[in-house]
Amino acid sequence: MSSIFSKIISGEIPSYKIAENEDFLAFLDINPLAKGHTLVIPKKESDYIFEMENDEYSKFWLFAKNIAKALRKTQACKRIGVAVIGLEVAHTHIHLVPINAVYDIDFSKPKLKLSPEELSKIAKDIKAAL
C-alpha cells in the first residue's frame, strides 16, 4: 500500500529535501517539533524498521547519522534526538529532532508553524553542512 512517503519519494508530493541516494531520502518534517526536524526514510516500502534486512538496516542508520551531524552543525541544540515510532505513517522512518532537553522530543506538544521560506532556508543550510 502506497503511503504519503512513497508519494514524496516519487515526487508526487513536494518536500524540503535534505539528502538523497539510491536507497534513502531525508526531508524536513512540515509539522516539526523543532526547526530542522527531519524525517529519514528508505525508498523501498517497509512498514516496520525491525523487518528491514540487516544490511539495509545498517546503511539506513549510517545515512541518518550523516544527516544528524549536519543538523547539529546548523541548528542551535545540545543533541539530535532520535525517535522511531512507526504508528502514524505505515512506512519505516526515523525522526531526527534538534533538542536541548528531553521534553523537546514530546510528540504530544504543539508543532511549529514555519513558512515555506523558513523551511527552504533550513533545508538549504543543512544541505550545505553535509
pLDDT digits (tens, 9 = 90+) for 12-34: 999 999 999 999 999 999 999 99
**57-75 average pLDDT score:** 98
Among 37, 91, 93, 95, which one carries the catalytic annotation? 93
List beta partners, residue 2: none
The number of domains in the chain is 1
Q: Could you list the residue range(s) of the whole structural domain that residue 117 is in? A: 4-129
C-alpha cell at 53: 534486512
Amino acid (one-letter) located at 108: S
- Please give the backbone phi and psi of residue 75, each rounded to the nearest 5 degrees, phi first: -115, 140
Handedness of CA 112, 118, 119, 123 (dihedral sign): negative
Q: How confident is the model at residue 86 (pLDDT cuts 50, 70, 90)?
A: confident
Write phi, then psi, for 127 (nearest 5 degrees). -55, -40
93 is catalytic: yes
CA-to-CA distance for 108 and 15, rounded, in angstroms?
23
Which CATH number goes with the domain that contains 24? Answer: 3.30.428.10
